[in-house]
Every structure is written in structure tokens, then in C-alpha cells.
Chains A and B, each alone.
Chain A
Amino acid sequence: MPDRSSPEGSGHGPELLVRGGTVVDEQGERRSDVLIRGAEITAVGPDLQPSGPDTVVLEAGGCVVAPGLVDLHTHLREPGGEIAETVQTGTRAAALGGYTAVVAMPNTEPAIDNPSIVRDVLALGRSALAEVAVAAAITVGRAGKTLSPMGEIAALGVHLFTDDGRGVQDAALMRRALEYASDLGIVLAQHCEDAALSAGGHMHEGAWSSRLGLPGQPAVAEEAMVARDLALVRETGTPMHFLHLSTAGSVELIRKAKADGLPVTAEVTPHHLVLTDASVADYDTAFKVNPPLRTDVDVQALRQGLVDGTIDAVATDHAPHATVDKEEPFDSAPFGMTGLETSLALLHTVCNGLPFGECPPSKWPGGTWPLVELLAALSWRPARIARLDRAAGGRQGGPIEVGAPANLMVFDPAATWIVDARTMASRSRNTPFAGMQLTGRVRHTVHEGEAVVVDQHAQR
């Protein structure tokens, strides 16, 4: 059976009292304090008192107290990419962004494609600042040739499998993978990109790539694989999760598939909800990401898909890269941008139509979006997709109630701040949001009863 016990070292910290905030979770909104002892919530209610002089009080006046966020899509880079990120630095970034759990992607070096590497990464996660779950590769070495030992890996508690960074190109192999996975209770997640159609592309193929003289990745490179995989899900019945959707056509395909009752879920990144290919105009490699930033039409469709439930979750695709690697010509720089430390604040800013940077307010479908909806997309819905929720025996996604694991965060919706790449906790600096003013900031984060972030500062 999967090891679902709380991490080592937890449960020994001081009692915590989260005081003066408004609890927001799946059960609604109420003015409540939260008392935490060990790794557990021991009391929820108005005007709670500390039980002794050693109780640490986390002030939450004017703030929202919510279940910790859960990121379905984090590149922690360890093992093999420690120049860009480690489990420790990546989860510190996560904690500062309000996350209490991340799913580490398997495109490490070596790839997470066998039980021993899964165990290694889970072991690194036990002393991290957030829960580290693992997504393992579908194919050995993510090479798209032979199946990884999915059964053995699933027995370690791994629920998501993906070759993320690339899609499984061979349709016959993908069909076999879905068939083989059908009795393991796992979910295959696809990075949808037909490599033949996207070959050589460094940004979205369209008006801007044509103007800038950069080879593009057409939207159809993503949509062709989404369509193929939906046909395979229809045939095999095995559930699938669609990673980082980026085009209006993909949203429409998933919308129809869900209407037909197919067992599929989907995620979108914060950057695809906010930025367009116009950002590439000055060849700043901070905006080079895969899937590429698309058009305004795609941004609007992704927002609509998130609002109407076609898209289940927001996932960061936090993809750190060393500065030395990003300061290269656009066509030789690696794809990827960081996101853990900015996601909630960014989306809170955008879906309330608040100004950021020098941009005019962006229009969100329906004008604004309630914070509870945003939290659902960032916390309890992704927790369920990753089976980190309590119903699945996990410890994430709330609700905030007596006896629940103490994984929560405190968000100040009124705090304004300017993103400074130099002071971020991630080992890398490749945020596209540097210099932007955001409204809303994570103030405290509690991971398994430990206050890992207090007043916007990581505690270790």
C-alpha cells in the first residue's frame, strides 16, 4: 500500500493559531480561527485562544484561510538538473506561492521511470517544504519505445504517469499504454504535441512568428494529439488527464468529450491564461515556453473553459532554467518559465480585472471570478486529480475542519507587490512576470502543521 503517513519531523512543532481570518474551502466561507497541533487541525471556530505561551500566532486579519494549493505540474529538476532547481528550492518556492503539495514531473536525468528513482525522489520530498508526489514516465527513458513498469510504480502510490516534455508519439504504443493501465487504477497524462507537426517550432505559429521570422508550432500540433488521445480514451475507457492545454481548439475537443461522458480531466497554466505570443516581440527568452504562448482568442477560450468547468485545474508547469541557458538566442534557449511563486497572485489579479504591470486590466469572462472558484481550480480539484485528497486517503485539498491534516495557507487579497526575479526562492530566475505589480499575496503557509512560510518569508 502507498505510504500515506505524514512526513518525518512533522508533529513536533509548536501549536499554531491562525487568527482573525476568513476560512474559504469547498464547504463555503466563514469567519474562523484555526488551531493546529502536531500535523492536525484541532479546532476551528471564532475567537479561539492559544492553549499556552508557546503557541505561535499567525495573524490572518483581512486574509483568506484556505486549503493549501496543489500543483499538478512542477519540474523540480532533481535528479540531474540541480543547476536550475532542487526538491528543496522548488518546494520553498511552492510554499511561498501557497502550495502544500506538488506533483514532480518525471523529465529528470535520469527520468523517473522505475521504482528506485521514484523512491529516491519521494525520499527527498520527505524533508521538503511541501508534500512531493511523483508523476512517473509512461515509457522507459521517456523515449516513447517501451512501457515503464507502471504496475510496480503504481504500487508505490504513484497515480499520474506522463512522458511530459514530449507526448507519446506512437499511437499504437499509447493505445497499449491505456489498455495496460486500465486495471491499475492510474491516470495517464499527456503533453499533447505531435512532434512532426511542431518540429523546429520555437513559438506559436501565427502572425507574430511570421513577423519575427521564428519557426512556429501550429495549434494543430496540439489539437491533433488531443483528438487522437480522446479517440483512444473512447475506445479503452481508461481515464486520461490533459496537461497544459493552450489552444481554443483543444478546449472545444475536451468540452465535447466531457459532454459525451469520457473520463477525462484537463489543466491550464497561469501563463496561458494571461500572456499571448505578442510577448515574444522582443525575443525575450523568458517568454519561450512549451506549449507556446498563443493568441488572444486562445486566451479567451482557455478562460471560458476554466470558468465553465471544461478545464478542471490550473497547474503551473513551473519549469526553472539557469540564467546562463536562457541568455542565448531565442531558437537555442530552452522552453519553460517558473510559476509557483506567482500563480495565485497573478490569477487573483487578472480574474478581478485589476491592473498589473503597465497592462490595462484584462477582461475575464463575466467580469470577475470569485476567489473560491480560483481556489477550487488551484487546490481541491487538482488534489482530486492527483488523488492527494482525503477521500483518496491523501492529506490535501481541505476542507478545513477538526481532525483534518494541517495543510493550509493564508492569502492576503489586498496586498500589492512587484515581482522581483532576483529575490525569488526558486533557484532560477526565468519568470515572465518580473517587474509586474500583482494584487494579493500568500502570507503564511502551513505544511503538515509546520509554519513553513510566515509573513511572506520562508522559515527554512
Chain B
Amino acid sequence: MTTTLETPGASTTLPSAGQPGGTPAAGAAAGAAAARSAGASGVRHLVSITDLDRDGMLGIFHLADAFKEVAERPIPRVPALRGKTVATLFFEASTRTRLSFEAAAKRLSADVMSFSASSSSLEKGESLRDTVETIDAMGVDAMIVRHKSSGVPSQVRAWTKASVVNGGDGQHEHPTQALLDCYTIREALLDRTPAGETPPEDLRGMRIAIVGDVRHSRVARSDVLAMTALGAEVVLVGPRTLLPPSLDGWPVKATPDFDGVLDSLDVVYLLRIQRERAQAALLPSMEEYHERFGLTRERAARLDERVLVMHPGPMNRGVEIAPEAADLPSSLITRQVKNGVLIRMAVLFHLLGAGGPLPAGAFGGTESGGGADA
């Protein structure tokens, strides 16, 4: 299959982006995606990973490369977004992702406002729209939205003038996670490119297995789109109960046979499995899951040492991954976390900064030392 995830089915009528009334409009999904990334108002969003095409993702990676140097300074801060305000709207608790976004915003010298559901007016009966419009009225340039319900960032986009960044919505998407995953794979490829050879620009030729609960995973949805757009070949591994009900339009293969694909892989991406899946009769037991779909000691031993092992965290050691396997030398799991901040800096700069390619020497100065203040 070569179609994109955006166009399941034969004849689709996508409501055009940015129209709160949802007026259906004929249009290719690609057109809708393009419209989404920069709406009629010119405001950029990152609601779905499809808001970026291949070149857009590579642009984010180049920005992240530039920020890597900033991160190593004694004062890891540049004035790129001075005067901008970034609000984190976390309707679902997530300390790690929130800290990552806030660290990214602060390193760019943006002001950060923090909203969390537990301290919010939502509990007083305010509607989602009212909450968003209240925060919008305070004057923010970007809203980073995380919610347990799929689609909330898409809805928020219609209710604010700010750029909307999806910080993870329900079982839909988690685009910054996909960007940092792909960036991390690309970084590992760069590291092992022999001196004198040209490093690969994207993930072309990589064979990646995403293993486990794809059905309920926003990480998997974004990763499939990002990895395949960057040229990788993706195979989903799991029982049918944990794969999406329909893979129509997904540019992937699927198999229940982990062992059958194990020897052909470059990357094993393990998804977190939640214990309640067994209660919902999607699985007989966690033990059986580990046997059939976990990266057991035996499977880990079979892997070539060049195979990369990834996990979005937090890990259930003993379920999707054997305790020993997470400490394999090729495991990128801690590097994924480090790169998270760089990627989120790049995304915020891409959305709120001047846009376009990074000017040479843009980050030559520190916060007090001037430099290109976008």
C-alpha cells in the first residue's frame, strides 16, 4: 500500500480545515493537510504529524541539531522566542511531557503559562471551549494541548488565535514524540556512518517493527506516518485485538508473528501495554502477551547488535520488554528523552519563530548577548 493514512476508503469527503462549521468540502487529503499546517490566518499548528511533510520534518531535525549545541552551554538559553508566551494546557496529567515542553520553551526565552485540569475550572462545569477561549483572551502565542480524548487539539484550533501543538491526544496522535523518535533513529545512523561517507538524510531503507498495542496508541499513529514519510518500511506486530480495526490506507504491513520478522529488522519499537487490556478481553494475560509479543531474553539475544530498541516510556519491564533488554547497548530509550527537549525547541521555533531555514549564526549569542531574536 502506498496511500497515506489520511485517506482511508475509496471516496472520502474531508471537512475542510479551519471551518468550525465543518462544512464538508471535496478535496484531497494532502490539500487539507497543507491547509491545516498554515490555516487561512497564517497561524501554524502541529496537530497531526501530517502537518509536516518529509522536508518539514527534516527542517525540524536541522533546527534540533542547531539547538543541541545550545543545550551544551553553561547557560543553555537563547532569546529566539523572547516576548512570546507559551501555554501548556494539560488536561491529562503527564509530568514528563509537560516538563519537556516547558524546558524547551524556557531555553528559547519564551514565557510559560501552565494550566492543569486538576486546578482548573473544568471541574466547576466550564465547557472545553470556554476554558480555551479564556486562556486565549490572556494573550498566548502557542497552546500545547494534551488531553485524554482524541481530537481535542483539532477542536482547540478552531477556538484560539494561537498556534496549537498537540502534546498527545487520546489514541490519536503524539507528533512531537514521533519527531523525537525519528530524530533519535537518524542520530544513531549518523553516529555509525563511517568517516568520509555521506550520512543518510532520512530513514530510507530502515525496517521498523512497531510492536504491541497499536490500536490504543497515539504514539504508534504518529510514528507510522512520520517513519514512512521519511522512507522507512514499517511492520506492525501484534494480535488482531490490539491492531486498529481497519488498516485501510495505512502504509504498513501487519503480522502476528514477531519471530517471523525479528531477523529482518533495523529497529524494534515496543509500545506500552496497559494491564486493563486483559480485563477488556483483548488479551488473555500479561504473561501470554510477553511470550508472544514481548522482547523476551531469547528474542533480545537473537537481535543483531546493530538493531535499535526503542520504547516511548514508561516501560513495563517484564511485560513488553524483558528486564535485561532495556539495558542493551543499542537501546535508545534514554536518548529519546534527551532529544525530546531539542525537538520541542525546534517545533516551537518553527511555529513561533520567523520560520523558514535557520539563519546562519542564529544562536551565536546567549540570552543577554543579542543574536537573532526571531
Contact of A212 among B12, B127, B151 (CB under 8 A): B151
Whole-angstrom distance between the alpha carbons of A357 and B27 in the complex? 12
Task: Kindly provide the distance from the CB of A197 to the nearest chain B CB, expressed in whole angstroms.
Answer: 12
- Using a Cβ–Cβ cut-off of 8 Å, how many residues does chain A contribute to the interface with B? 42
Task: Kindly provide the distance from the CB of A321 to the nearest chain B CB, expressed in whole angstroms.
Answer: 12
Nearest residue (CB) in A for B29 is: A281
Which of A29-37, A135-143, A325-333, A396-404 is the interface stretch?
Answer: A325-333
Given the interface pairs A206-B246, A358-B25, A359-B26, the reply to whether A214 lies near B151 with Cβ below 8 Å is yes
Nearest residue (CB) in B for A199 is: B280
Residues of B within 8 A of A210 (CB): 8, 215, 244-248, 250
Whole-angstrom distance between the alpha carbons of A435 and B129 in the complex? 21
Nearest residue (CB) in A for B19 is: A435
Task: Kindly provide the distance from the CB of B100 to the nearest chain A CB, expressed in whole angstroms.
Answer: 21
* Cross-chain contact A331 with B170 (CB below 8 angstroms): yes
Whole-angstrom distance between the alpha carbons of A358 and B303 in the complex? 53
The answer to whether the Cβ of A296 comes within 8 Å of any Cβ in the partner chain is yes
The answer to whether the Cβ of B154 comes within 8 Å of any Cβ in the partner chain is yes
* Cross-chain contact B150 with A331 (CB below 8 angstroms): yes
Task: Kindly provide the distance from the CB of B10 to the nearest chain A CB, expressed in whole angstroms.
Answer: 7
Nearest residue (CB) in A for B9 is: A207
The answer to whether the Cβ of A242 comes within 8 Å of any Cβ in the partner chain is no
Task: Kindly provide the distance from the CB of B353 to the nearest chain A CB, expressed in whole angstroms.
Answer: 27
* Cross-chain contact A278 with B9 (CB below 8 angstroms): yes
Residues of A within 8 A of B127 (CB): 324, 327-328
* Cross-chain contact B249 with A283 (CB below 8 angstroms): no
* Cross-chain contact A212 with B172 (CB below 8 angstroms): yes
Give per-residue flags for A321-358: 1 if the beta carbon is below 8 A from chain B beta carbons, else 0. 00010011111100000000000000000000000011
* Cross-chain contact A286 with B8 (CB below 8 angstroms): no
The answer to whether the Cβ of A20 comes within 8 Å of any Cβ in the partner chain is no
* Cross-chain contact B150 with A357 (CB below 8 angstroms): no
Nearest residue (CB) in A for B216 is: A213
Nearest residue (CB) in B for A285 is: B155
Residues of B within 8 A of A275 (CB): 24
Task: Kindly provide the distance from the CB of B182 to the nearest chain A CB, expressed in whole angstroms.
Answer: 20
Residues of A within 8 A of B151 (CB): 212-214, 282-283, 329-331
* Cross-chain contact A213 with B173 (CB below 8 angstroms): yes
Residues of A within 8 A of B250 (CB): 210
Contact of A296 among B10, B26, B149, B221 (CB under 8 A): B10
Whole-angstrom distance between the alpha carbons of A441 and B154 in the complex? 34
Residues of B within 8 A of A246 (CB): none
Residues of A within 8 A of B248 (CB): 206-207, 210
Residues of B within 8 A of A215 (CB): 171
Give per-residue flags for A194-229: 1 if the beta carbon is below 8 A from chain B beta carbons, else 0. 000000000001111111111110100000000000
Residues of B within 8 A of A434 (CB): 21-23
The answer to whether the Cβ of A360 comes within 8 Å of any Cβ in the partner chain is yes
Given the interface pairs A205-B245, A210-B8, A278-B12, the reply to whether A358 lies near B152 with Cβ below 8 Å is no
Residues of B within 8 A of A262 (CB): none
* Cross-chain contact A213 with B150 (CB below 8 angstroms): yes
The answer to whether the Cβ of A173 comes within 8 Å of any Cβ in the partner chain is no
* Cross-chain contact A421 with B26 (CB below 8 angstroms): no
* Cross-chain contact B10 with A213 (CB below 8 angstroms): no
The answer to whether the Cβ of A287 comes within 8 Å of any Cβ in the partner chain is yes
The answer to whether the Cβ of B15 comes within 8 Å of any Cβ in the partner chain is yes
Given the interface pairs A213-B150, A213-B172, A332-B149, the reply to whether A206 lies near B23 with Cβ below 8 Å is no
Whole-angstrom distance between the alpha carbons of A329 and B150 in the complex? 8
The answer to whether the Cβ of A279 comes within 8 Å of any Cβ in the partner chain is yes
Those of B243-298 within 8 Å (CB) of chain A: 244-250
Main secondary structure of the interface of B (DSSP, over half): loop
* Cross-chain contact A214 with B245 (CB below 8 angstroms): no
* Cross-chain contact A327 with B129 (CB below 8 angstroms): yes
The answer to whether the Cβ of B41 comes within 8 Å of any Cβ in the partner chain is no
Whole-angstrom distance between the alpha carbons of A434 and B20 in the complex? 10
- Using a Cβ–Cβ cut-off of 8 Å, how many residues does chain B contribute to the interface with A? 47
Task: Kindly provide the distance from the CB of A328 to the nearest chain B CB, expressed in whole angstroms.
Answer: 5
Contact of A213 among B128, B155, B171, B249 (CB under 8 A): B171
Nearest residue (CB) in B for A284 is: B22
* Cross-chain contact A283 with B154 (CB below 8 angstroms): yes
* Cross-chain contact B15 with A206 (CB below 8 angstroms): no
The answer to whether the Cβ of B322 comes within 8 Å of any Cβ in the partner chain is no
The answer to whether the Cβ of A107 comes within 8 Å of any Cβ in the partner chain is no
Whole-angstrom distance between the alpha carbons of A212 and B218 in the complex? 9
Whole-angstrom distance between the alpha carbons of A434 and B6 in the complex? 24
Nearest residue (CB) in A for B16 is: A358
The answer to whether the Cβ of B11 comes within 8 Å of any Cβ in the partner chain is yes
The answer to whether the Cβ of B108 comes within 8 Å of any Cβ in the partner chain is no
Residues of B within 8 A of A285 (CB): 155
Residues of B within 8 A of A286 (CB): 21-22
Those of B127-185 within 8 Å (CB) of chain A: 127-129, 147, 149-152, 154-155, 169-173
* Cross-chain contact B8 with A435 (CB below 8 angstroms): no
Task: Kindly provide the distance from the CB of B247 to the nearest chain A CB, expressed in whole angstroms.
Answer: 7
The answer to whether the Cβ of B362 comes within 8 Å of any Cβ in the partner chain is no
The answer to whether the Cβ of B118 comes within 8 Å of any Cβ in the partner chain is no
Whole-angstrom distance between the alpha carbons of A287 and B21 in the complex? 10
* Cross-chain contact A435 with B23 (CB below 8 angstroms): yes
Those of A257-313 within 8 Å (CB) of chain B: 275-276, 278-279, 281-287, 295-296
Task: Kindly provide the distance from the CB of A329 to the nearest chain B CB, expressed in whole angstroms.
Answer: 3
Whole-angstrom distance between the alpha carbons of A329 and B92 in the complex? 13
Task: Kindly provide the distance from the CB of B91 to the nearest chain A CB, expressed in whole angstroms.
Answer: 9
Those of B212-243 within 8 Å (CB) of chain A: 215, 218, 221
Whole-angstrom distance between the alpha carbons of A281 and B22 in the complex? 9
Among A205, A206, A207, A211, the one with the most B-chain Cβ atoms within 10 Å of its Cβ is A211
Whole-angstrom distance between the alpha carbons of A359 and B16 in the complex? 11
Q: Which 4 pairs across A and B sit closest by C-beta, in order of nearness?
A: A207-B8, A283-B151, A284-B22, A329-B149
Which residues of B line the A interface, CB within 8 A? 5-6, 8-17, 19-27, 32, 127-129, 147, 149-152, 154-155, 169-173, 215, 218, 221, 244-250
Further 12 A-B residue pairs, CB within 8 A, beyond A213-B150, A213-B171, A213-B221: A206-B8, A206-B245, A207-B248, A211-B244, A212-B151, A276-B9, A278-B24, A281-B32, A282-B22, A296-B10, A358-B27, A434-B21
